Structure 1
Amino acid sequence: MSDFKPCEDQSATFTGWASTGTPHLKKWSYHPRPLGPKDVEIEISHCGICGSDIHTITGGWGALPEPEIVGHEIVGKIVAAGAEFQNRIGEHVGVGGLADACGDCKDCKAGNEQLCSKKSFIFNDKFKDGRGGKTYGGFADRVRVRGDFAHKIPENMSLAEAAPLLCAGITTFAPLIQHQAGPGKSVGIIGIGGLGHLGIQWAAAMKCDEVVAISSSNSKREESKKLGATKFVNSKNPEDMKAAAQSMDIILCTSFAKDADWDALLNLVANNGKMVILAMPEAPLSIGAGAFIHRQVSMVGSLIGGKKMSRDMLDFAAKHNVRPWIETMPMSDCNAAVKHVMEGRPRYRVVMETGAAVRAQTSN
């Protein structure tokens, strides 16, 4: 098919850290596709590490047939652009999970580019606009994407802090907006990690009546309060679960154990409430139908967000001082950084910095 034809700019070479299905990344170079009139080239200064990156590089979501550069919490400076985006050269921007979309379909026109049938994810995907070319992510020195998907970083936000907002931030912000979180609503967050710690901050900033942190241990109880939680539920404590039963209008599920008791978790949702699945399991879920029928509980999914939602999220974060808690590590030590994340040690997001980071931070 013409949409999937090889398309390389032999005059340009980008270098990153690639996986072929194991957690160990190796330095690897590729030729990007030629810069089109709607494209921008970004010199990467920062890239966060997300659970989706880990699932991909370990083969948890399927084997990788060829080297793959992951990374979809990208921040950097536009250093080259096609004709339509020349005025943005020099701008500090962030790129999330999308590199392109058609712009013309029903979903795109509704602001849901993430649902476009011709969307291109930022890595492990192909461009579908007829020009060909494969996508590669942000564990690299540079990346080329459609300019519409490069979002300006607010001036009062550090570039390192901005990076996790491009995935963890939009992933937790969008469903709260879509399901009308705010005054009068009780919101629960399952999993206090890279996504969950931002979910708590969003819900608190939206002035929800209750913001409930739900975790399988007490180790993050005090940190959850600092993030803005008004209550804490230990999902392994029967008394906590009983006291919180059927009390939350919206629950964001940002992580879960392989042996998660889904019926017990659904019992936390209020009548007519929603459980929103944000974490992608590697195996099918086993859930009884009782809560769906007898209490009209809904279980829905949410996939990142479109262009406008991403811009709104960055503006909201800038205005309400929502920031990820981060640890920075050099991208040259990406294998140590990935290992750190796989061990579940960060509080709460690792952001890798390239050689361009100091220059970018100084000039921002």
Structure 2
Amino acid sequence: MPATETFTGWMGLDAKSVEGNLVKQEYHPKVFTDNDIDIKISHCGICASDLHTLRSGWGATPYPVVVGHEIVGTVVKKGKNVTEFEIGDRVGVGAQCDSCLEADCYECNHGLEPSCAKHVFTYASKFFDNGDYSYGGYSEMGRYPASFAFKIPESIPSDIAAPMMCGGITVFSPLKRNGCGPGKTVGIVGLGGLGHFGLLFAKALGADHVWAISRTDSKGEDAKAMGADGIIATAEPNWAKKNARKFDLIVSTANSPDMPLGDYLTMLKPDGTFVQVGLPEAPIPQFYFGPIVSNNLSLRGSVLGSREEIKEMLDLAATQGIKSWITTYPMDEVNKVLPLMEANKARYRFVLCNDV
């Protein structure tokens, strides 16, 4: 049974909530266990996943729902088994808040926690131990297992850290796992919330050359300021032919089913890798397998990242002074910000802030 306690958050009640119709009301969090922490939430980034969930774009959403999985706040309560945090610690929680972490679980012991059969997402998901629903960060408080919370380095402000908890790790993980570093030329498809992190982290990981790939070059100066050599505009004639066999690795953040996947693949060098992290709501139309077969390419997907990778990403951001490009709004203005997010107005992440 859910806890008798109540938290207050901005709740989506139906698919129309994505239009900016969230309702501020009380809800019951999961039952508190000896392994949990309560977080007084100070900041929460707005992710495209929030919009997909609010509109039931990826399947039926279990309304009412509190979305938001780029969470930073302060620990105000901890269970007796929690040893890694103290009351008052500043922590972050991302898109995953639990998995089995059992000794015989291959996924949990090989850095694949998001693929664990008992993974729990931070909102609109059920905990396996008791069936309680998870609720996200558009809220004053959050309750999560301590094993999926992370200390925020002192040098990273909370509003800067929040979007890294999902947007940052979603691109850091595939970059790291697929060899981004010295000697490599890397392309990032899409220059939005995820894509801007792709440029920042590809450069920080030491890639020789980093290119943004976007429909137009309107964000070209921003891309260069993020560390890119330049931008490839796919609205221009012969863009793919001009850049054939240019990249060792391409990470795609695009979430449109109309993406020119076949053309993207022609820009990979032989033995190159294409990783898709964006998740369209509709199937991608058929494409020709010729480039994959003839050039020995790898086509992969990636979701989130491991707990160790999140720690490594935060350490890298602290060491190199990596800053999310954000615009902040008070949490109470969430219904104003959601339509802006839908209209792709973020440059490059919106962050909601409770009174702190």
TM-score range, shorter chain: over 0.9
Correspondence for 2:34: 37
Correspondence for 2:204: 205
| In 2, Cα distance between equivalents of 1:342 and 1:213 | 22
| In 1, Cα distance between equivalents of 2:271 and 2:153 | 37
Q: CA deviation at 1:224?
A: 0.5
Deviations 1:68-94 (A, max 9, x none): 111000000010010022652110000
Matched, 1:15 2:4: no
Deviations 1:312-359 (A, max 9, x none): 11001111111110000011010111111111111100000012xx2x
**Contact kept? 1:210, 1:231, Cα under 8 Å:** no
Q: Once the two structures are aligned, what percentage of the paired residues are identical?
A: 40
SS at match of 1:199: helix
> Root-mean-square deviation (CA), in Å?
1.2
| In 1, Cα distance between equivalents of 2:258 and 2:109 | 40
Question: For structure 1, which runs of at least 5 residues remain unmatched after alignment?
Answer: 1-6, 359-364
Q: CA deviation at 1:184?
A: 0.8
**Contact kept? 1:181, 1:250, Cα under 8 Å:** yes
Question: How many residues are aligned here?
Answer: 348
Q: 1:67 aligns with which of 51, 64, 67?
A: 64
SS at match of 2:305: coil
Alpha-carbon distance change, 67 to 256 in structure 1, aligned in 2, over 3 angstroms: closer
Give the partner amino acid of 2:2: E
Deviations 1:207-232 (A, max 9, x none): 21110111101110111011000132
Correspondence for 1:361: none
| In 1, Cα distance between equivalents of 2:201 and 2:248 | 15
**Contact kept? 2:255, 2:279, Cα under 8 Å:** no
**Contact kept? 1:234, 1:241, Cα under 8 Å:** no
- Give the TM-score normalised by the residue count of structure 2: 0.95
- Give the TM-score normalised by the residue count of structure 1: 0.93
Q: 1:57 aligns with which of 50, 54, 74?
A: 54
Q: CA deviation at 1:131?
A: 2.9
Alpha-carbon distance change, 227 to 209 in structure 1, aligned in 2, over 3 angstroms: same
Instruction: After superposing the two structures, state which structure 1 stretch, 284-293 or 270-279, moved more.
Output: 284-293
**Contact kept? 1:190, 1:256, Cα under 8 Å:** no
Question: For structure 2, which runs of at least 5 residues remain unmatched after alignment?
Answer: none
Alpha-carbon distance change, 166 to 65 in structure 1, aligned in 2, over 3 angstroms: closer
Q: CA deviation at 1:243?
A: 1.8
Give 4+ residue runs of structure 1 displaced > 6 Å after superposition: none
| In 2, Cα distance between equivalents of 1:50 and 1:56 | 10
Q: CA deviation at 1:297?
A: 1.4
| In 2, Cα distance between equivalents of 1:133 and 1:239 | 52
